[in-house]
Amino acid sequence: MRKALQGMFAGMMIFSLPVFAVNYGFLSNTAMSYFTKDDWQIFDKAQNQALNRGKNGVKVTWRNLKSGNHGYMVPASAPSQQGMSCRYLSFYNVANLIEGEATYKFCKSTNGIWKIYN
C-alpha cells in the first residue's frame, strides 16, 4: 500500500505546478485526505516549524489527540532555486488507518511563503 501511495504522489507531482504549501488538494485518497480541520491546523504548525526552524535530519512530530491522526516530518537541506532558500521535507502521516509518506522540495518566496517545487 505504501509503495502505491508513493507512486501516486510521484505521478501527481510530475503534472503539478508550484503550489502554496497549504494547498494539498492533489492528495486525494491519501492519509492527508482524511485530516480533520484540527489535524490541518496542528500539521501546518508543525510544518512551519520544520521548514523555518527545524534542524536537518531531526523529526518534528504532530498528533491530534481528538482524531488519533498523527505523523512527523523531517527537514533536510536542498539546493536553492531561482534565488530562493529551499528545503526538502519528508512526511510520514497516519489518518483513518491509512499510512502515507512522501518527500517534497519547498522553496521560500520573497514574500515568505513556502511553495512546493519539483
Q: What is the pLDDT of residue 64?
A: 97
Residue 33: count other Cβ atoms within 10 Å of its Cβ: 15
Question: Residue 117: what pLDDT?
Answer: 86
SS3 state of residue 49: helix
**2: burial class by Cβ within 10 Å (0-12, 13-18, 19+)?**
exposed
In tens digits, the chain (118 residues) has pLDDT values of: 444 444 444 443 333 333 344 455 555 678 988 899 999 999 999 999 999 999 999 999 999 999 999 999 999 999 999 999 999 999 999 999 999 999 999 999 989 999 998 7
| pLDDT number for residue 13 | 39
